[in-house]
Structure formats: C-alpha cells, structure tokens
Amino acid sequence: AIGQLRKSKDEPSSGVLRVRVQGRVQRVAKQGGLMFVTLRRGLNLMQCLLAGELAKTYDALTLMRETSMEVFGELWEVPAGAHAPLNRELHADYFRIIAVAPGGDDAFTNLVPEDGDPNTLLNLRHLTLRHDKPSAVMFVRGVLEGAFHTAYKEMDVKKVSPPALVQTQVEGGATLFKFDYYGETSYLTQSSQLYLETVLPSLGDVYCIEKSFRAEKSLTRRHLSEYTHIEAELDFITFDDLLTHLEAVICRVVDLTLEDPVAGELVKKYNPEFKKPSRPFLRMRYADAIEWLREKGIKNTEGNDHVFGDDIAEAAERKMTDEINRPIFLTHFPVEIKAFYMQKADDDKRVTESVDLLMPGVGEVVGGSMRIWDYEELLAAYKREGIDPAGYFWYLDQRKYGSSPHGGYGLGAERFLAWLMKLWTVREACLYPRFMGRCTP
Ligand code: 4AD
Ligand code: MG
C-alpha cells in the first residue's frame, strides 16, 4: 500500500492511504448521524465509518448482518479503545452492496444466536461457522495440523496415506462401520496403525493424518463417529523411546502453534489459563491409577471400588486428570482390556507396553503401545481375541520378513484441540461434526 494512515482532519489528504475493502457485515452501530460498520473478511475485521449523506442512503439504513459489500475511502488511525480493530478506521466516501442478507425473521443473529441451543446451532452449522469462536477454532485447527507436519518433518518421520476402506478391525468389532464393497463386507477404517506398521521396512518411521471412523453408540463430550487421527509408527524402539518421542512431538506442536501470531493470540483469548506442558510428563502405571482411584473413593461404572482389570471409564478418568491437572502418561494396561496387537511387558506378562496420554479437561488424547513383533505370539493373540487371522496375512507377514521391536500411537486431533482451546466438547473442534444421530449438514 502506498500512503499513510490519516490521523486528523487538519492533515492534507494527499499521501493519505486510500483503500477498498470487501467483506461481510459483522456489526452495525449507529451514533447520531454516524454509522459504524464492522466488515469481516475471514478472520480480519475492519471498522468503516459512514457519515453524512452516505449514512442516510437506503442501502445504509437497511444494512443487515452478513450482507457483503465493498467500501472505498481513507484509512485513519484512531485511538485505542475506539473499538476499531488494529486502531484503524476506514472513512468511507463510497460503498456498494455486493449481495444482501435477509432481514426479518431470517435475520442472522436471531437464527443462530451465539449462545443458542446447541442442536439448532448444529442444524445451521453452515451459518454458525461465521461466528467468532467457531472460526477461531477452525483456524487454530488448521495451524495445529500444520504444526504436526512440521514437527514430524523435523524429526524425519515420513508421511504416508493409508486407505480408509478396509477389511480388518483394529480396535474391536463393536465400533466398526460396515458397508458393501462390490458385494464384499468391508469397513471404514478405525485406525491406520496396521498399515503404518507395514511401511516401516520401506520408509522408516512414518505418520499419517487421516480420518478414522467409529460407530460409537453413545453420546459423550469426546466421542465422534468421524475424527481426524494423527498416527505415527516408529521402528527399532523401546517403550521408553516411544514415551520420550510423544513428549517431544506434543511439546514441539504446542510451541509451533503458539508461535503462530494469529493462532497464539486466539489460544490466549479462549484459553487464558493454558499452561504449556513441561517435560517429563507424569508417568503412572495402570495398577497405581487403580490404587489412586480406590484411595480417592472414585467408583467404577458398577458403583464399586476399582479393581485391577477394570476399564477406567470416562468419568473416573476425567476426575483423575482434573485433580492431578497436568498431562499423565498412564501405562501398562492389563492385556484383557487392550487391543490384540499390544506387546506384553517383560517384567509382568499380565500387562502390556501400552500408554494413554491423559490431558486435563479432556482425558485420553493419545493411545499407543509397543506391538507384538513375534509371529507365533501374534497368532496366539488373534486366537485369544477370537479374530480370524486370515484377513491379516499382510500384517502377519511383517513378522515373517525381518520383524523388529516397534511401536506407535494415535492422537485424536479434536481432543487435542479441545484441550488446547478449552472446548466443552470435541464437536466444537469439527467443521461439521459427525456423531450418533447427526450426519447433516
Ligand atoms: O485409543 P485408540 O482407539 O487407539 C488406536 O486407534 C490405535 N490403533 C492408535 C495407534 O496406536 N496408531 O484411538 C487413539 C486416539 C484416542 O486416544 C482418542 O484421542 C482418539 O483417537 N479417538 C477418538 N476421538 C474422537 N472420537 C472417537 N470416537 C475416538 N476414538 C478414538
Ligand atoms: Mg484408547
């Protein structure tokens, strides 16, 4: 741009910055004969001042929120506290409506009030997304995904794109979405883990950011039917290496996201108490967590004291993370409550080399483990779980052709974002959330 911001009427108008701004009406305020119109273009806002005859035109007097328009004029510097974003104001000498938005009963703010009924807002998600908070969340989400790509690149973890249409389960049959694939039974993938494992010998450490699908037949604050799954798999590692890597990725991604000038400010705005996690994260064995829950009198889903072998349900997990109030690596879950592929611990064959990363306000954000890498042991695991290994020939072959100790994890992008931005539910972290009962718009 050529020219300067104008500061007062007394300055000559030559050399003053003249601009044209296009956007949609975010807010209209009238003050005497003046009209202040805040225009929105993406996340950027510009306050425009219409004065004199301009403020008396039919188009000005009937201006509705969401109408798109363009405004021409001089750019002024105004004092802080004048409600003008960036302390700038566009003093209009001409404006033009590009396309109107409805008034009357269809008026935007009546239709989708920011604090409206959540279900109504979801029915009109395509309009709700124009509000400040949803746009901020979507923006930070984009930066966050970029931060993962950057962090993995820095760590020399290669990106691949596994298939979404599959014929094997990863996390249990109960949450599989089944469909007809040219006459064959197939599923929407629950996790790309098994496919990531197969590329370790060709690419080395790998990751993917893909959709995973779960037919979750319950409505909770943190379960979706379709979610973005950030998964990585690392070769020739120990369980301890896996935990160290996870800490490094998470801290790097948080730093990168907060370093983004816009995303950093938005996180501060919506989650002012956010504390960067410090390394090392607290490590707690499942058995110790059970003890902790017993001591605190936090009951299991049957209303009894927790015992070794119980699943730690969402409510108990939340209480634990909220009270401890820092990231927790919960490790060494019993074999019976974890997936078929998990490696058993050397020092205690009842438990697996597994980890859930729990975050305050959300609970489980990451699930990971070392993988069984012995062929016979994996076959035995299929048998124990009652899974027919035939469909997994390609997964078993990894254990036949130069196997290796390896492990990895999956991180739910929506849950991570819910933690970062203090969202009440992961539904707020999706452009168009999918959960039981909702597949529209
Ligand atoms: O714990 P999960 O089921 O683990 C796996 O899928 C492993 N195969 C991942 C791996 O090792 N590559 O899921 C991993 C994470 C969870 O910790 C959670 O953050 C997220 O995925 N997740 C969900 N997010 C939203 N809605 C759901 N229904 C989710 N199910 C899992
Ligand atoms: Mg899990």
1 pLDDT exceeds 60?
no
Give Cβ neighbours of residue 290 (< 8 Å, ≥ 6 apart). Answer: 306, 307, 308, 310, 312
Cβ 170 under 6 angstroms from ligand 1: yes
Angle of CA points 331, 332, 334, to nearest 5°: 135
367 CA to centre of ligand 2 in angstroms: 5
Q: Is the peptide bond before 162 cis (omega within 30 degrees of 0)?
A: no
Residue 215: pLDDT over 60: yes
H/E segment holding residue 50: strand 44-50
% of the chain beyond a pLDDT of 70:
100
Q: What is the predicted pLDDT for the residue at 426?
A: 98
Q: Which residues contact 218 (CB under 8 A, 6 or more apart)?
A: 436
How confident is the model at residue 3, as a pLDDT? 73
Angle at 198 between CA 193 and CA 202, to 5 degrees: 130
Which residues have beta carbons under 5 A from ligand 2 (an ion)? 367
pLDDT digits (tens, 9 = 90+) for 88-119: 999 999 999 999 999 988 899 999 999 999 99
Closest Cα to atom 1 of ligand 1: 367
Tell me, what's the pLDDT at 436?
Answer: 97
Statement: residue 21 has pLDDT above 60: yes
Q: For residue 33, name the pLDDT band (cuts at 50, 70, 90).
A: very high
State phi, psi for 60 to the nearest 5 degrees: -70, -45
Report the distance separating Cα 253 and Cα 233, nearest Å. Answer: 17
CA-closest candidate to residue 279, choices 258, 255, 257: 255
Ligand nearest to the CA of 364: 1
Structure-token pair, residue 91: 């003093």
Residue 102's contacts (CB-CB under 8 Å, 6 or more residues apart) are 64, 108
Give 45 Cα–ligand 1 centroid separation in angstroms. 37
Distance 314 CA to ligand 2 centre (A): 11
Tell how far the Cα of 205 is from the centroid of ligand 1, in angstroms.
Answer: 20
Give CA separation, 15 vs 9, 19, 319, in Å.
Answer: 13, 12, 62
**Pairing state of beta strands 206-213 and 226-235?**
antiparallel
Report whether pLDDT(297) > 80: yes
Strand order in 165-166's β-sheet?
Answer: 165-166, 184-188, 177-181
- What structural domains and CATH numbers belong to the chain? 18-106 (2.40.50.140), 128-429 (3.30.930.10)
Whether ligand 1 lies within 6 angstroms of the CB of 54 is answered as no
How many CA atoms lie less than 13 Å away from 322 in the CB half-sphere?
10
Q: In what order do the strands lie in the sheet with 226-235?
A: 158-159, 206-213, 226-235, 406-412, 363-370, 354-359, 328-331, 282-285
Distance between alpha carbon 82 and the CA centroid of its chain, in Å? 34
| Chain centre distance of CA 101 | 31
Dist. CA 362–CA 418, nearest whole Å: 7
pLDDT at 366: 98
Q: Which ligand gives the minimal distance to the CA of 409? A: 1
Q: What average pLDDT does this structure show over 221-237?
A: 98
How high is the pLDDT of residue 8? 85
Q: Which of the listed residues 233, 364, 411, 427 should we mutate to test ligand 1's pocket, taking the one with most ligand atoms within 8 A of CB? A: 364
Q: Which of 12-16, 117-121, 320-324, 432-436 has the lowest mean pLDDT?
A: 12-16
Residue 2's pLDDT is what? 59
Does 193 contact ligand 1 (Cβ within 6 A)?
yes
**Cα–Cα nearest to 417, from 212, 88, 137:** 137
ipTM of the complex: 0.99
Measured from the CA of 341, which atom of ligand 1 is nearest? 8
Residue 12 has pLDDT above 90, yes or no: no
- Whole-structure pTM value: 0.96
Q: How far is the CA of 411 from the centre of ligand 2 (A)?
A: 9
In sequence order, what DSSP letters do the residues of 88-138 get, joined into one string? EEEEEEEEEEEE----GGG-HHHHS-TTS-HHHHHHTHHHHTTSHHHHHHH
Q: Output the residue whose Cα is nearest ligand 1's atom 3.
A: 171
Q: How far is the CA of 412 from the centre of ligand 1 (A)?
A: 6
**412: Cβ contacts below 8 Å, ≥ 6 apart:** 222, 227, 228, 229, 230, 365, 366, 426
Q: Is 404 left (phi over 0), alpha (psi -120 to 50) or beta?
A: beta
Collapsing DSSP states into helix, strand and coil, what is residue 48?
strand
In angstroms, what is the span from residue 366 Cα to ligand 2's centroid? Answer: 7
**Nearest to 68, CA basis, from 88, 44, 28, 96:** 96
What does residue 29 show for φ and ψ, rounded to 5 degrees? -130, 135
Ligand 1 in contact with 368 (CB < 6 A)? yes
Which residue, by CA, sits nearest to atom 29 of ligand 1? Answer: 223
